[in-house]
């Protein structure tokens, strides 16, 4: 009976040591749960592999990339409350350009597909982020945009974003 207790105790100790040793090894893998979650509910449509500039095929492709700790780039249009258009335009404008994972201090631009006009452009900040208003996007029903930028890995990113409904409607 004493021998059975010793064997059982040794087995428990071995399992505990394995669990403690495996914890840091699993954590060291470098997965990024926040990036993986950002891909859900259409988030994959404005995210790209930073290493290649390739758009993600679907939310699963994007989440898998993020969960592995791989870098992502994003340049997207957010439907924001309306604001007065900057001069020389008049009227009501809308939309914010938001980006991350871009090459620091690199140029970016957003083009309205129907008119071909560049509606926003600028330079990513020193961390590779963008936060700017669309300068010329007036209140129309549905709009499509293309984005152009450079990923943190130096790859060109060109994307047609899904159609958006203006918040003015």
The arithmetic mean of pLDDT across residues 6-14, rounded, is 41
CB neighbours of 117 closer than 8 A, spacing ≥ 6? 111, 136
Average pLDDT of the chain to the nearest whole number: 78
Q: What is the pLDDT of residues 84-136, one digit of tens each?
A: 877 777 777 788 899 999 999 999 999 988 888 888 899 999 999 999 987 66
Quickly state the pLDDT bin for 17 (edges 50, 70, 90).
very low
pLDDT value at 27 more than 80: no
- Confidence band for 139, pLDDT divided at 50, 70 and 90: low
**Per CATH, which fold does 31-165 belong to?**
Immunoglobulin-like (2.60.40)
Collapsed DSSP state (helix, strand, coil) of residue 30: coil
Separation of first and last alpha carbons in the chain: 80
Strands 118-123 and 92-93: unpaired
> Residue ranges per domain, the chain?
31-165
pLDDT given for residue 43 in this prediction: 85
């Amino acid at each position: 009976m004493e021998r059975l207790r010793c064997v059982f105790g040794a087995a428990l100790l071995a399992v505990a040591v394995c669990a403690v040793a495996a914890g840091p090894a699993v954590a060291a893998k470098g997965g990024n749960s926040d990036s993986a979650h950002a891909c859900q509910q259409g988030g994959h449509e404005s995210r790209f592999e930073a290493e290649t500039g390739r758009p993600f095929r679907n939310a699963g492709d994007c989440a898998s990339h993020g969960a592995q700790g791989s870098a992502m780039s994003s340049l997207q249009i957010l439907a924001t409350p309306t604001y007065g258009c900057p001069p020389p335009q008049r009227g009501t404008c809308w939309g914010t350009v938001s980006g991350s994972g871009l090459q620091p201090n690199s140029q970016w631009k957003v083009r309205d597909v129907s008119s071909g006009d560049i509606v926003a452009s600028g330079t990513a900040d020193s961390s590779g982020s963008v936060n700017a208003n669309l300068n010329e996007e007036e209140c129309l029903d549905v709009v499509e945009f293309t984005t152009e930028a450079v990923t943190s890995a130096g790859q060109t990113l060109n994307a047609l974003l899904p159609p958006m409904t203006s918040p003015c409607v």
